[in-house]
Amino acid sequence: SAVHLDLASLDSVRAAAAELSTLDRIDALIENAGAIMPSKTRELTVDGNELMFGTNHLGHFLLTALLYPTLAKTPGSRVVTMGSGATRLTGIRLDDLQSARKFSAWAAYGQSKHATQAFGFELDRRLRASGGPVTALVAHPGGGQDGNSPARLGVIEPTTGQRILAKLLFFVGGGKHTAAWPAVRAATDPDARGGQYWGPRGGLSGRPRNGKPARVSHAPALGAALWAESERLVGQAFPI
């Protein structure tokens, strides 16, 4: 069965979480959905948050907070937040998380992915400190291109031109199917540990491995400040 979820709407997140909370258990929560530079101009969610920050981070933060009780009662459960290699080329501004003062689609996207990574690492720190029963990890997909992906009717249907372009411009990258491997490994590998950062061995492609994230995303001070601000923005306390 499917549950409707629009991460750009906090009300939709609450409704989806209420439905999912009726489950007896949740073994893994992979926070893979996201908006990737949908426009060159700054756009807002229905709640008034910058679209990429609101969708990629705040929606997932609220979803995790609301589903945590079910995750906590499920032995061996895991939360995998989805980062990006873009964090190695961008920064994050705590004083302008919503990119209100200065907007660049690329910078705002990178900032939203710094936030998802920082959230995952801060979640791991808090779980370790409290002895919480959930394991938190972060993954990144590398360079998954539509043109390098198997066709899936109604989901991904690359044209011949897209396939040729992908081979020419992204010859070191993989497809959407290989981009899923790091998150799947983080969610299911019995040897994976909390706080790890799973991504393709070659950066853009290759078998998944535990690697090192951008230092900025891993900073405890950023994680703590972002956590408090996220609670305020979504109107939901998330104590662990």
* Per-residue pLDDT tens over the stretch 15-70: 999 999 999 999 999 999 888 888 899 999 999 999 999 999 999 999 999 999 99
pTM: 0.89
Which domains, ranges and CATH numbers included, belong to the chain?
A: 10-129+215-234 (3.40.50.720)
| pLDDT (0 to 100) of residue 23 | 98
Q: For residue 145, with 0-12 CB atoms within 10 Å meaning exposed, 13-18 middle and 19 or more buried, which class applies? A: buried
∠ CA 158-163-167, nearest 5°, is 150
Check pLDDT > 60 for residue 171.
Answer: no
Longest dimension (CA), the chain: 52
Using a pLDDT cut of 70, give the percent of the chain over it: 86
Each residue of 106-160: pLDDT tens digit? 999 999 999 999 999 999 999 999 999 999 999 998 765 654 556 666 666 667 7
| pLDDT (0 to 100) of residue 126 | 99
Which listed residue (61, 109, 198, 227) is catalytic? 109
Q: How far is CA 201 from the centre of its chain?
A: 19
Is 197 one of the annotated active-site residues of the chain? no
Give the lowest-confidence range in 46-50, 153-157, 176-180, 225-229: 153-157
**Mean pLDDT, residues 166-179 taken together:** 64
How many C-beta neighbours within 10 Å does residue 60 have?
A: 25
| pLDDT (0 to 100) of residue 153 | 65
- For residue 43, give both structure tokens: 């756009």
Arithmetic mean of pLDDT over the chain:
91
Name the band, by pLDDT with cuts 50, 70 and 90, for residue 201: confident
164 forms beta bridges with none
